[in-house]
Amino acid sequence: MNKTEKIYWEDFVKPDMGPLSYSRATLAAAANTDYAERLVLGTISATGKKVPYNPTANNGSEIADSVLKTHVLAQSAAGDVAVEVLDALALIDIDFLVWGANVTTDAQKATAIASLRSNIIKKAEVYNA
């Protein structure tokens, strides 16, 4: 698949694992921020709210634990947004993960993928075509 083509959820999540289960979560959204579908998320320990995975943080969001299911465009004011996240058994194509602004190195991505393998994917394989 050409990376400039629209990527559909079905391209990212492989059906091999059976029916998918999504969880409802709260995204702590910053004002006027665009959150892409397939964005890797972490959870702020003190609030339990999702934010983009941030390997430089020290608040819980430095651990990748879920993937945003749909695109979210936060409005002019910061606030909580109800979202669906993939945080359970799944076979995903890691080439299509979307990374937040604080993820700047391949080592940070590798750490997040390892965390996803042990936390969200519940021992399932990660597909990488």
Which tokens sit at 101?
Answer: 């602004």
Structural domain includes residue 74: yes
Q: Tell me what pLDDT residue 88 has.
A: 73
Predicted confidence at residue 125, as pLDDT, reads 47
CATH number of the domain enclosing 38: 2.40.300.10
pLDDT of residue 15: 53
Q: Is residue 2 part of a domain?
A: no
For each of the chain's 129 residues, which pLDDT tens digit applies?
Answer: 445 566 666 666 655 555 556 677 788 888 788 899 889 999 999 999 999 999 999 999 999 998 888 888 877 677 888 888 887 767 777 888 999 999 999 999 999 999 988 766 543 344 554
Residue 3 domain-assigned? no
Listed in order, strand segments (DSSP E) in 1-128 are: 13-14, 22-29, 34-35, 40-43, 50-52, 66-68, 72-73, 79-86, 91-92
Number of structural domains in the chain: 1
The answer to whether residue 46 sits within a structural domain is yes
What pLDDT is attached to residue 74?
79
Q: Which amino acid is at 79?
A: G
Can you give the residue range of the structural domain that contains 73? Answer: 9-118
